[in-house]
Protein backbone atom coordinates (compact mmCIF):
# COMPACT_ATOMS: atom_id res chain seq x y z
CA UNK A 1 0.00 0.00 0.00
CA UNK A 2 1.34 3.45 -0.82
CA UNK A 3 0.52 6.66 1.04
CA UNK A 4 -2.08 7.74 -1.53
CA UNK A 5 -3.96 4.48 -1.15
CA UNK A 6 -3.84 4.72 2.62
CA UNK A 7 -5.20 8.28 2.60
CA UNK A 8 -7.88 7.37 0.08
CA UNK A 9 -9.04 4.41 2.14
CA UNK A 10 -9.82 6.80 4.99
CA UNK A 11 -11.05 9.64 2.82
CA UNK A 12 -14.66 9.75 3.91
CA UNK A 13 -13.97 10.19 7.61
CA UNK A 14 -11.06 12.56 7.07
CA UNK A 15 -12.95 14.81 4.67
CA UNK A 16 -15.91 14.92 7.03
CA UNK A 17 -13.69 16.10 9.89
CA UNK A 18 -11.85 18.56 7.66
CA UNK A 19 -15.12 20.02 6.39
CA UNK A 20 -16.21 20.46 9.99
CA UNK A 21 -13.08 22.43 10.71
CA UNK A 22 -14.05 24.79 7.86
CA UNK A 23 -17.53 25.06 9.33
CA UNK A 24 -16.00 25.89 12.70
CA UNK A 25 -15.34 29.37 11.27
CA UNK A 26 -19.07 30.08 11.55
CA UNK A 27 -21.22 30.69 14.63
CA UNK A 28 -22.52 27.59 16.34
CA UNK A 29 -26.14 28.34 15.47
CA UNK A 30 -25.36 28.14 11.75
CA UNK A 31 -23.27 24.99 11.77
CA UNK A 32 -26.18 22.58 11.88
CA UNK A 33 -27.60 24.11 8.74
CA UNK A 34 -24.26 24.10 6.95
CA UNK A 35 -23.67 20.45 7.82
CA UNK A 36 -27.08 18.95 7.23
CA UNK A 37 -28.79 20.82 4.40
CA UNK A 38 -27.51 18.83 1.44
CA UNK A 39 -28.71 20.94 -1.47
CA UNK A 40 -26.26 22.96 -3.51
CA UNK A 41 -28.77 25.73 -4.20
CA UNK A 42 -30.32 25.99 -0.74
CA UNK A 43 -26.97 25.74 1.04
CA UNK A 44 -24.34 26.90 -1.41
CA UNK A 45 -21.68 27.73 1.19
CA UNK A 46 -21.89 24.31 2.86
CA UNK A 47 -22.02 22.34 -0.36
CA UNK A 48 -19.29 24.31 -2.11
CA UNK A 49 -17.05 23.72 0.91
CA UNK A 50 -17.81 20.02 0.85
CA UNK A 51 -17.26 19.64 -2.89
CA UNK A 52 -14.00 21.57 -2.67
CA UNK A 53 -12.76 19.50 0.28
CA UNK A 54 -13.30 16.27 -1.68
CA UNK A 55 -11.25 17.52 -4.62
CA UNK A 56 -8.52 19.08 -2.49
CA UNK A 57 -8.19 15.97 -0.38
CA UNK A 58 -7.46 13.88 -3.46
CA UNK A 59 -4.95 16.46 -4.62
CA UNK A 60 -3.17 16.43 -1.28
CA UNK A 61 -3.18 12.65 -1.05
CA UNK A 62 -1.42 12.50 -4.39
CA UNK A 63 -4.26 10.92 -6.35
CA UNK A 64 -4.66 11.71 -10.01
CA UNK A 65 -6.08 15.24 -10.01
CA UNK A 66 -6.62 17.60 -12.93
CA UNK A 67 -4.85 20.87 -12.02
CA UNK A 68 -7.71 22.96 -13.41
CA UNK A 69 -10.28 21.10 -11.33
CA UNK A 70 -8.16 21.55 -8.22
CA UNK A 71 -7.61 25.22 -8.95
CA UNK A 72 -11.33 25.79 -9.55
CA UNK A 73 -12.33 23.98 -6.35
CA UNK A 74 -9.87 26.00 -4.29
CA UNK A 75 -11.00 29.19 -5.99
CA UNK A 76 -14.69 28.49 -5.26
CA UNK A 77 -13.92 27.84 -1.61
CA UNK A 78 -11.62 30.82 -1.14
CA UNK A 79 -13.73 33.39 -2.94
CA UNK A 80 -16.63 32.64 -0.62
CA UNK A 81 -14.49 32.92 2.49
CA UNK A 82 -12.79 36.08 1.21
CA UNK A 83 -16.02 38.09 1.48
CA UNK A 84 -17.43 36.47 4.60
CA UNK A 85 -16.12 38.92 7.16
CA UNK A 86 -13.34 36.76 8.60
CA UNK A 87 -9.63 37.49 8.89
CA UNK A 88 -7.38 36.15 6.11
CA UNK A 89 -5.80 33.63 8.48
CA UNK A 90 -9.19 32.11 9.12
CA UNK A 91 -10.26 32.23 5.48
CA UNK A 92 -7.16 30.38 4.30
CA UNK A 93 -5.93 28.67 7.46
CA UNK A 94 -8.51 25.93 7.76
CA UNK A 95 -6.78 24.28 4.79
CA UNK A 96 -3.84 23.47 7.04
CA UNK A 97 -5.98 21.69 9.58
CA UNK A 98 -5.97 18.71 7.25
CA UNK A 99 -2.42 18.13 8.47
CA UNK A 100 -3.69 17.65 12.01
CA UNK A 101 -6.26 15.17 10.82
CA UNK A 102 -3.65 13.23 8.87
CA UNK A 103 -1.16 13.21 11.74
CA UNK A 104 -3.84 11.95 14.05
CA UNK A 105 -5.22 9.27 11.80
CA UNK A 106 -2.98 8.39 8.87
CA UNK A 107 0.55 8.92 10.19
CA UNK A 108 0.50 6.24 12.95
CA UNK A 109 -1.03 3.70 10.60
CA UNK A 110 1.52 4.55 7.93
CA UNK A 111 4.48 4.20 10.26
CA UNK A 112 3.15 0.90 11.58
CA UNK A 113 2.74 -0.49 8.13
CA UNK A 114 5.90 0.63 6.39
CA UNK A 115 8.32 1.82 9.07
CA UNK A 116 11.06 -0.42 7.75
CA UNK A 117 10.98 1.32 4.38
CA UNK A 118 13.64 4.01 4.06
CA UNK A 119 11.45 6.41 2.13
CA UNK A 120 8.44 6.08 4.43
CA UNK A 121 8.69 9.43 6.15
CA UNK A 122 9.51 11.40 3.04
CA UNK A 123 6.51 9.87 1.27
CA UNK A 124 4.31 11.03 4.10
CA UNK A 125 5.89 14.47 4.17
CA UNK A 126 5.20 14.83 0.45
CA UNK A 127 1.51 14.78 1.29
CA UNK A 128 2.01 17.61 3.77
CA UNK A 129 4.01 19.54 1.20
CA UNK A 130 1.15 19.29 -1.22
CA UNK A 131 -1.07 20.82 1.44
CA UNK A 132 1.47 23.64 1.69
CA UNK A 133 1.20 24.11 -2.07
CA UNK A 134 -2.56 24.42 -1.75
CA UNK A 135 -2.02 26.98 1.01
CA UNK A 136 0.23 29.08 -1.20
CA UNK A 137 -2.22 28.92 -4.08
CA UNK A 138 -4.95 29.94 -1.64
CA UNK A 139 -2.95 32.98 -0.59
CA UNK A 140 -2.85 34.19 -4.19
CA UNK A 141 -6.54 33.53 -4.64
CA UNK A 142 -7.49 35.29 -1.44
CA UNK A 143 -5.62 38.43 -2.43
CA UNK A 144 -7.07 38.27 -5.95
CA UNK A 145 -10.54 38.14 -4.43
CA UNK A 146 -9.93 41.18 -2.24
CA UNK A 147 -8.49 43.13 -5.16
CA UNK A 148 -11.52 42.25 -7.23
CA UNK A 149 -13.86 43.50 -4.50
CA UNK A 150 -12.15 46.88 -4.41
CA UNK A 151 -12.05 47.14 -8.19
CA UNK A 152 -15.77 46.37 -8.29
CA UNK A 153 -16.41 49.14 -5.76
CA UNK A 154 -14.67 51.67 -7.96
CA UNK A 155 -16.35 50.48 -11.13
CA UNK A 156 -19.75 50.58 -9.54
CA UNK A 157 -19.38 54.27 -8.83
CA UNK A 158 -18.40 54.91 -12.44
CA UNK A 159 -21.26 52.87 -13.88
CA UNK A 160 -23.87 54.35 -11.60
CA UNK A 161 -23.20 57.80 -13.02
CA UNK A 162 -22.04 56.95 -16.51
CA UNK A 163 -24.31 59.45 -18.26
CA UNK A 164 -23.40 62.28 -15.91
CA UNK A 165 -19.73 61.65 -16.58
CA UNK A 166 -20.50 61.72 -20.30
CA UNK A 167 -22.42 64.96 -19.87
CA UNK A 168 -19.61 66.53 -17.88
CA UNK A 169 -17.15 65.52 -20.59
CA UNK A 170 -19.27 67.15 -23.28
CA UNK A 171 -19.64 70.37 -21.31
CA UNK A 172 -15.90 70.52 -20.91
CA UNK A 173 -15.42 70.12 -24.67
CA UNK A 174 -18.00 72.80 -25.41
CA UNK A 175 -16.62 75.27 -22.91
CA UNK A 176 -14.69 78.19 -24.39
CA UNK A 177 -11.04 77.52 -23.59
CA UNK A 178 -9.66 79.91 -21.01
CA UNK A 179 -7.10 82.40 -22.37
CA UNK A 180 -3.56 81.35 -21.70
CA UNK A 181 -2.31 82.79 -18.50
CA UNK A 182 0.74 84.97 -18.58
CA UNK A 183 3.38 85.38 -15.98
CA UNK A 184 2.21 88.70 -14.71
CA UNK A 185 4.51 90.74 -12.57
CA UNK A 186 7.30 88.25 -12.79
CA UNK A 187 10.37 89.54 -14.54
CA UNK A 188 12.34 86.91 -16.31
With binding defined as CB under 8 A, does residue 152 bind another protein?
yes
Which residue in the set 5, 38, 40, 125 belongs to the binding site for another protein (CB under 8 A)?
40
With binding defined as CB under 8 A, does residue 126 bind another protein?
no
With binding defined as CB under 8 A, does residue 129 bind another protein?
no
Nearest-approach distance from CB 179 to another protein, in angstroms: 27
Which residue in the set 9, 12, 16, 44 belongs to the binding site for another protein (CB under 8 A)?
44
Q: Which is nearer to another protein, 51 or 120 (CB)?
A: 51
Nearest-approach distance from CB 12 to another protein, in angstroms: 19
Closest CA to 131 of 61, 41, 35: 61
Question: What string of H, E and C letters represents the secondary structure of 118-162?
Answer: CCHHHHHHHHHHHHHHHHHHHHHHHHHHHHHHHHHHHHHHHHHCH
Which one of the spans 1-9, 80-88, 112-120, 124-132 is the region binding another protein (CB under 8 A)?
A: 80-88
Q: How far is CA 126 from CA 8, 10, 120, 129, 133, in A?
A: 15, 18, 10, 5, 10
Q: Which residues bind another protein (CB under 8 A)?
A: 21, 24-31, 33-34, 37, 40-45, 48, 79-80, 83-85, 89-90, 93-94, 96-97, 100, 145, 148-149, 152-153, 155-157, 159-164, 166-167, 170
Amino acid sequence: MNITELCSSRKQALVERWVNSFFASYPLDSKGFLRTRRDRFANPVGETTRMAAEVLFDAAAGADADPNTVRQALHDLLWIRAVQDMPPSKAVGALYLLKDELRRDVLPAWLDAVSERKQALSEYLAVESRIDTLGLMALDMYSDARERVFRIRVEEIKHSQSQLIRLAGLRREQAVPAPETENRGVEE
